[in-house]
Amino acid sequence: MGKSALITGITGQDGAYLAKFLLEKDYQVYGTFRRLSTPNFWRLQYLDIFDRIHLIPADLLDASSIISALKISQPDEVYHLAAQSFVGTSFEQPVGAGEITGLGVTRVMEAIREINPGIKFYQASTSELYGQGNTESLSEQTPFRPSSPYASAKLYGYWITRIYREGYGIFACNGILFNHESPLRGMEFVTRKISNAAAKIALGLEKKLALGNIESKRDWGYAPEYVESMWLILQQEKPDDYVIATNESHTVKELVEKAFAVAGLDWEKYVTVEERFLRPLDVNFLQGDYAKAKRELGWEPKVKFNELVEIMVKEDLSRWQRWSKGERFPWDAPNYPNENKILSRMLKLDR
Ligand code: NAP
Ligand code: F7E
């Protein structure tokens, strides 16, 4: 019998890919999910692993549910991926960001400390920790200067992880992952927003796309490769923190240009920049130096920017084509309202 792992946030992009990866390594895979009025298991169904995982209801706001999840799963490893993960939302729900994304980490760590301090713990840390003002590749040594409620909650989670490692001797590690994307990415993130819009416009299902800060630069990698690094981090002799990235950065404008080209379109005819999609603070440059991960984990990225954009746009094109012909399959886009439909604090500001 293989090892056992508990993934918080198994319904999200990384949770689904990590579950698939661990099943292939012969793990017993347990995952927490939130009770919602409409079930949200489409990614697990899309990867065809839904029947092979064990689901446990839990919410990061409820410590008792986390304790139950640990008692039921008795894991060797916990991958703590659940979070309020959209930076834009953290400006609208800043208290929730602190409670869920920040204090949630302590609830999981405390449960581990009480139930079994021998459990290994992975914390989903992020390049957003670095914040504004950088122009060069960022490493484990670069100081953090968070620029959003999301990032400051993640900074708290980063330090709690280190404190439980150094204070209680728990095998607790931070993966400082730069942006990673895939056809399973949430619809509100810029890569998927663009790949979905390019596909719909090419098929005559949509007319335009409104974006925010298109000068912003990101280091975008491919999510299925990044989940392998999470596992590698927990297989080392000593617990430590690692940057996972591609060490390349591109602007949102380059992304939109490439995505529309893959769909056979000239982006300038369809894309507008609208102030309502700008954040109160944005991080303009992120690029990660993954030398330590390469040296110590033997990890390096294979899929780079152009291939990533091609994978995403081609998949969204194919999905919309199949859907238009009447085929039905687990998928988020048909139920996602156009962002113009959503009245948020930021959208209301200029009305
Ligand atoms: P995601 O697709 O948004 O998934 C987030 C997961 O957290 C979902 O399963 C969600 O459940 C769950 N969740 C949210 N609030 C919760 C709560 N109160 N209690 C329990 N579960 C809750 O995010 P992702 O892209 O997979 O990212 C995984 C983790 O890595 C996150 O912590 C994120 O902040 C971090 N991260 C992501 C990236 C990236 O580029 N993707 C980079 C660095 C770090 P529902 O399905 O019910 O919403
Ligand atoms: O924005 C700009 C936006 O929302 C990327 C999360 O996984 O990665 C993610 O956070 C950039 C920003 O991702 C739009 O202002 C322009 O500069 O796709 P995003 P993010 O904020 O980088 C990090 C590593 C995480 O940890 C997070 O969990 O694109 N941008 N126009 C836009 N962004 C969005 N969403 N929508 C736009 O219309």
The CATH number linked to 138 is 3.40.50.720
Residue 244 gets the label, from left (phi > 0), alpha (psi -120 to 50) or beta, of beta
* Alpha carbon of 336 to ligand 1 centroid (Å): 18
Say if residue 99 is in the same domain as residue 13.
yes
Say if residue 118 is in the same domain as residue 20.
yes
Residue 348's pLDDT band (boundaries 50, 70, 90)? low
pLDDT of residue 338: 77
Could you give the 3-state DSSP secondary structure of residue 131? coil
Say if residue 168 is in the same domain as residue 62.
yes
Q: How far apart are CA 228 and CA 213, in angstroms?
A: 31
Query: What is the average pLDDT across 264-275?
Result: 97
Domain, as residue range, for 191: 187-219+249-285+304-348
Please check whether residue 209 is in contact with residue 196, taking contact to mean a CB–CB distance below 8 angstroms. Answer: no
Question: Is there a domain that residue 298 lies in?
Answer: no
Q: How far apart are CA 292 and CA 121, in angstroms?
A: 20
Q: How far apart are CA 132 and CA 134, in angstroms?
A: 6
Cβ of 12 closer than 6 Å to ligand 1, yes or no, is yes
**Would you give the end-to-end CA distance of the chain in angstroms?**
59
Say if residue 10 is in the same domain as residue 79.
yes
Is the model's pTM score more than 0.85?
yes
Query: Does residue 164 carry a pLDDT above 60?
Result: yes
Query: Does residue 351 carry a pLDDT above 50?
Result: no
Query: Where is 273: in which H helix or E strand?
Result: strand 271-273
Q: How far apart are CA 79 and CA 25, in angstroms?
A: 15
Cβ of 254 closer than 6 Å to ligand 2, yes or no, is no
Residue 344's pLDDT band (boundaries 50, 70, 90)? confident
pLDDT of residue 342: 77
Residue 346's pLDDT band (boundaries 50, 70, 90)? low
Per residue in 305-323, pLDDT (tens digit) is 999 999 999 999 999 999 9
Instruction: Report how many domains make up the chain.
Output: 2
Number of helices (H), then strands (E), belonging to the chain: the values are 13, 13
**Of how many residues is the chain composed?**
351
Question: Is there a domain that residue 124 lies in?
Answer: yes
Say if residue 11 is in the same domain as residue 102.
yes
Question: Is there a domain that residue 201 lies in?
Answer: yes
Per-position DSSP letters for 139-156, written without gaps between them: -TTSPP---SHHHHHHHH
Query: Does residue 194 carry a pLDDT above 60?
Result: yes
Determine whether 254 is an active site residue: no
Among 179, 253, 255, which residue has the most ligand 2 atoms within 8 Å of its CB, making it the best to mutate?
Answer: 179
